[in-house]
Amino acid sequence: MLIKRHLLLFILITVFIMYTSSSILSAKSIERERGVEKNMIVTSSGVINGIIDKKYGKYGAQFSKGMPTHSIPLAIKEYPKDTKTFAIIMEDKDAIPVVGFSWLHWSVANLTKDSLEENASIDAKDFIQGTNSWSSTLLPQPLDRYEAAKYGGPTPPDKPHNYEIHVFALDTTLDLHKGFYVNELYKAMDGHILAQYTLKAIYNN
């Protein structure tokens, strides 16, 4: 009788393990089918050996009311096949000791192609742009929300700063409009991110 109980217990455990393994494999198969397991990569010809070219920041030649506007080029590869659009957020956390918050340089939504040419922000034909930190009311003379709805390049005042360019592959088109705030972008992306990648680079002061 004891042997039968042990045998029954062994059979139940075996069935449970087989079922669980099958479920996990099925889930992974679905993820592979959706492309979630792919390692998305983002590169930029404007970043050489980890350094952002000077023309994309305060040492460049294109400005709007003191804000550098010559945007950096980007190339996105190995993204999930179900990707409908991309979103981009460029920020400078090294600005926190200087101004008290992470400086937002660029936010992009509904990008429908996997690359951006340099200075694409100036026309923004394939995407919409949110307002950046040059519109902050904490500044003495902030830009208008829509004036700041474009790329605002690096302007580190104290030392070389580390910049992060976050790129998100999304399964939808976001209901956003020009001049959106970055918190609105994060809320809209919630539940729609298939993959993401952060490109890190330094801009010298």
Q: For 155-196, write each residue's pLDDT tens digit.
A: 999 999 999 999 999 999 999 999 999 999 999 999 999 999
Q: Which residues pair with 68 in a beta bridge?
A: 63
What distance lies between CA 65 and its chain's CA centroid? 26
pLDDT of residue 28: 42
Helix (H, G, I), strand (E, B) or coil at 178: coil
Q: Where does residue 20 rank: exposed (0-12), middle (13-18), buried (19+ CB within 10 A)?
A: exposed
Q: What is the pLDDT of residues 40-71, one digit of tens each?
A: 999 999 999 999 999 999 999 999 999 999 99
pLDDT at 105 over 50: yes
DSSP three-state, residue 175: coil
N residues, the chain:
205
Q: Mean of the per-residue pLDDT values for the chain?
A: 87
Residue 29, CA distances (Å) to 23, 57, 132 in order: 10, 44, 40
Q: What's the whole-model pTM score?
A: 0.81
Q: Both tokens of residue 23?
A: 């479920």
| Pure H helices in 41-171 | 96-99
* Position 29 pLDDT exceeds 80: no
Partners of 195 in the β-ladder: 169
Segment 14-33 mean pLDDT: 40
Q: Are the C-beta atoms of residues 167 and 199 closer than 8 Å to each other?
A: yes
